[in-house]
Amino acid sequence: MNDYLIKALAFDGNVRAYAISSTEMVAEAQRRHNTWPTASAALGRAMTASTMIATGLKGEEKITVKIEGGGPIGAIIVDANAKGETRGYVSNPHVHFDLNEHGKLDVAQAVGRDGFLSVVKDIGMREKFTGQVPIVSGELGEDFTYYLVTSEQIPSAVGVGVLVNPDNTILAAGGFMIQLLPGAGEETIRFIEKRIEAIPPISKLIEAGKTPEEILNALLGEENIKVIDNMPVQFECSCSKERFSNGIMGLGKEEISNMIEEDGEAETACHFCNAHYHFSKEELQELYAESKV
């Protein structure tokens, strides 16, 4: 099943809901960064949640999420935009622990609980919106929930999950996000709370072949939902050799001259997708000539 996300309204427009299948997106990140299982789960959960939040934006709007909990995984950085394009990486991809007491990958131990989750929203204006909250559990679903409730004042529930195969590849990944709008009544809230408590782990539902539509049906009741959008999501990086060329020119003539004299070439790599770009001596000389600093 190709990755995709659905947006829906429920209970006469008083609830906004998202559900996503992100297995291939997370698998692509795992392949590019060679993450070990616990690191894969942490990165995959962060990418899945970030994608759902970003697809609530419009046009060219995008977000950058940074999670630093003080754990051995280091920082998790995710970029996601309104088009369903997401990229991400972790500082230390080779982190793995035994399963926790619930039989799940111990994401909280990898992430840590002493730090912050921050979201920077670029909505095309001069000033960018930044929200930051303390990490409350390190499991990330709860942390994104806390961010939405605290920083954006939207009562929400976020569920994200990743299952990893014995060979470190990704078996299943997905998530849901439910947000209460001002008209949601107590009866609706209690109904949703009971459904969330009863539903199996989201990654297990994806593994079982459940679609995003079926996930929202299980959470909210098919009769209560109206799907308003269906869109593909994928791992997508905006890096290019041209962008790195501009970055090298920005270093200035003196630095470029040192590259030419000391190494005679340069190799750059993108943190987000691990793509490598090689610059020959001749290419560096051209960048030296074009540099204005």
Q: Give the DSSP letter of residue 137.
A: S
Instruction: Report the distance separating Cα 110 and Cα 95, nearest Å.
Output: 7
Return the structure tokens found at 268.
């750059």
Say yes or no to pLDDT of 225 above 90.
Answer: yes
Q: Give the DSSP letter of residue 239.
A: -
Give the pLDDT confidence score for residue 183 in this predicted structure.
87
Q: What CATH number has the domain spanning 4-235?
A: 3.55.30.10
Give the pLDDT confidence score for residue 128 in this predicted structure.
81
Q: Where in the chain is the domain with CATH 3.90.1280.10?
A: 241-290
Across the strands, what pairs with 116?
Answer: 68, 134
Amino acid at 173: A
Instruction: Report the distance separating Cα 133 and Cα 162, nearest Å.
Output: 23
How large a percentage of the chain has pLDDT more than 90?
81
Range scoring the smallest mean pLDDT among 86-95, 146-155, 210-219, 257-266: 257-266
User: Tokens 């190494």 — which residue?
Assistant: 263
Return the structure tokens found at 22.
């992100």
Give the pLDDT confidence score for residue 10 in this predicted structure.
96
CA separation, residue 125 to residues 102, 119, 128, 148, 245 (Å): 44, 16, 7, 21, 26
Q: How many CA atoms lie within 13 A of 176 on its CB side?
A: 29
Instruction: Report the distance separating Cα 212 and Cα 216, nearest Å.
Output: 6
Distance separating the N- and C-terminal Cα atoms of the chain? 50
Return the structure tokens found at 48.
């899945």
134 alpha-carbon distance from chain centroid: 18
Beta strands at 15-21 and 170-180: parallel, antiparallel or unpaired: antiparallel
Amino acid at 139: E
Across the strands, what pairs with 81?
Answer: 62
Mean pLDDT of 220-248: 94
How large a percentage of the chain has pLDDT more than 70?
100
Give the pLDDT confidence score for residue 127 in this predicted structure.
76
Q: Give the DSSP letter of residue 200.
A: P
Q: Where in the chain is the domain with CATH 3.55.30.10?
A: 4-235
pLDDT band of residue 61 (cuts 50, 70, 90) is: very high
Amino acid at 166: P
- Tell me the pLDDT tens digit for each residue of 101-145: 777 889 999 999 999 999 999 877 777 889 999 999 999 999 999
- Tell me the pLDDT tens digit for each residue of 166-211: 999 999 999 999 999 998 999 999 999 999 999 998 888 999 999 9
- Tell me the pLDDT tens digit for each residue of 20-43: 999 999 999 999 999 999 999 999
Q: What CATH number has the domain spanning 241-290?
A: 3.90.1280.10
Which stretches of the chain are DSSP H helices? 23-33, 37-54, 107-111, 141-150, 186-198, 202-207, 212-220, 241-251, 253-262, 281-290
Query: CA torsion sign, 138 to 139 to 144 to 150?
Result: negative
Measuring CA to CA, which residue among 89, 36, 25, 47 is closest to residue 274? 89
